[in-house]
Structure 1
Amino acid sequence: MIGAMVFAAGLGTRMRPLTDDRPKGLVDVAGRALVDHALEQVAGARPIVVNAHHHADRLIAHLAPRGVRILHETPTLLDTGGGLRNALPHLGAGPALTMNADAVWTGPTAFATLSAAWAPDRMDGILLLVPLSRAVGPATGSFGMRAGGRLERDPEGHVYTGAGIVKTDALADDPREVFSLRDLWFDMAARGRLHGVLHPGGWADVGTPDGIAAAEAMLAARV
């Protein structure tokens, strides 16, 4: 079983003024909250955990009927690595699908693509990528895909979509409270244990108010 961790605890700084009175996860894109787009992408994973911080009460009220576990990160924001580590008691011992709540998608879900490609015998992590030419919004390259799907850091490479599967074994003993998942990825990559798979559909970053129109156009066109 693969659990899912949806990261929705950010301050929404780049999305202001829309986040002056709400968390970024409740910003509307094509008639649905961003966090709902994210939850659609992890459908099939169990259990599902969502973290909250900025205007947490509004996000908690929105998610209460959804059957997900909500973790209010207070007073300290834990970043992605710390947030995942904090969620381990609720996710269980297996691998976790991690999902950022600031993008929209077309095509197969992230869970479907990642779980089909997941091979724990030769991977400690797998990231869902799109070619830079197909990314909608102000995305930049992050990883190059080598033989057998192994990933290396490459600013001219594919775009990380914000979704991946990682083994969580090493997290429980990490003494840090606040750290990024990138620390885990780069260690995996150095050992040849970080892989990638391409998302065959459309993907749009929705990190700023200006990105909403482009994302909605992509959804309308079903790229």
Structure 2
Amino acid sequence: MILAAGRGTRMGPLTESRPKPLIEVAGRPLIEHALALTEPLMPLTRVVNLHYRGAQIRAHLGDRVVYSEEPELLESGGGLRAALPLLGPAPCFVLNADAAWERQTALAELAATWDAERMDALLLLIPRANATGHPGKGDFDLAADGRITRGTGYIYPGAHITRTEGLAGIPEAAFSLNVLWDRMIAAGRLYGLVHHGGWVDVGQPGSLPLAEELLARV
């Protein structure tokens, strides 16, 4: 599941006439960088959710993916739940479409570490020092056994594996995946995996040159 429905308002004029996933970094739209992370694990069913200027994304990607159309914005959790008929009941990858990655191994690392017996979700984590362009103070702390709780030690860069059964118990139509994660934390089943490659949060115009610089080193 690639999350691509949002309005990208922090990008200002850059998203007035196009969706953020089609903003180019190093000569390629952001959504192409996201799709590149899936390549080591192909074949996969790749679902992209659409809302803001979604026709442009559809025209660009064609039949390389399948689409989950959102008549209204459902946020990350609601968008994932709406796409379940396309994704199926098994645990799935979820990936944001607004980042630049130094390494293309993010999803493969998650797949190699996933343990369905212990985990309801496995989130990739970035040490704060490696999280370029990210304005937040941090998202999670990581325990020695791999469980994570709310904290400031690590940034969530927008890539994880999750079970989806818990989405059915959330009454709101539009909601963040944070709602689901908090329930998993309470059950002791939310885990994290540290990714040591460089990463840039391309959420505002000032991050574009930082992303260009990162990818120039790849």
Query: TM-score category by the smaller chain?
Result: over 0.9
SS of 2:17's partner is coil
Amino acid at match of 1:23: P
Aligned partners of 2:127 and 2:196 also within 8 Å: no
Aligned partners of 1:108 and 1:201 also within 8 Å: no
Post-superposition Cα deviations, 1:113-151, rounded to whole Å, max 9, x if no partner, equal: 110110010000010011001111134310000021100
Amino acid at match of 1:25: P
Q: Larger deviation: 51-60 or 105-114? A: 105-114
- Matched with 2:139 is 142
* Aligned match for 1:58, one of 49, 56, 59: 56
CA distance in 2, matches of 1:167, 1:72: 22
SS of 1:195's partner is strand
- Matched with 1:104 is 100
Report matched runs for 1:114-133 at 5 Å. 114-133=110-129
Report matched runs for 1:207-222 at 5 Å. 207-222=203-218
Post-superposition Cα deviations, 1:40-63, rounded to whole Å, max 9, x if no partner, equal: 112326211001111111111011
Runs of at least 4 residues off by over 3 Å: 172-175
Aligned partners of 1:23 and 1:59 also within 8 Å: yes
By percentage of residues, which structure has more helix? Answer: 2
Aligned partners of 1:78 and 1:177 also within 8 Å: yes
- Matched with 2:195 is 199
Report matched runs for 1:62-101 at 5 Å. 62-66=60-64, 68-74=65-71, 76-101=72-97
Q: TM-score if structure 1 supplies the norm length?
A: 0.93
Aligned partners of 1:107 and 1:200 also within 8 Å: no
CA distance in 2, matches of 1:108, 1:24: 21
Amino acid at match of 2:16: D
Following TM superposition, by how much is the alpha carbon of 1:173 offset from its aligned partner in structure 2, in angstroms? 5.0
Post-superposition Cα deviations, 1:52-87, rounded to whole Å, max 9, x if no partner, equal: 111111111011142x1112211x101011000000
Q: TM-score if structure 2 supplies the norm length?
A: 0.95
| Sequence identity percentage | 48
Amino acid at match of 2:74: L
Q: Given the alignment of the two structures, is residue 184 of structure 1 paired with residue 180 of structure 2, yes or no?
A: yes
User: Structure 1 stretches of 5 or more lacking a match?
Assistant: none
- Matched with 1:153 is 150
* Aligned match for 1:31, one of 27, 32, 40: 27
Q: Cα RMSD (Å) of the superposition?
A: 1.2
Aligned partners of 1:10 and 1:54 also within 8 Å: yes
CA distance in 2, matches of 1:151, 1:42: 25
User: Structure 2 stretches of 5 or more lacking a match?
Assistant: none
- Matched with 2:47 is 49
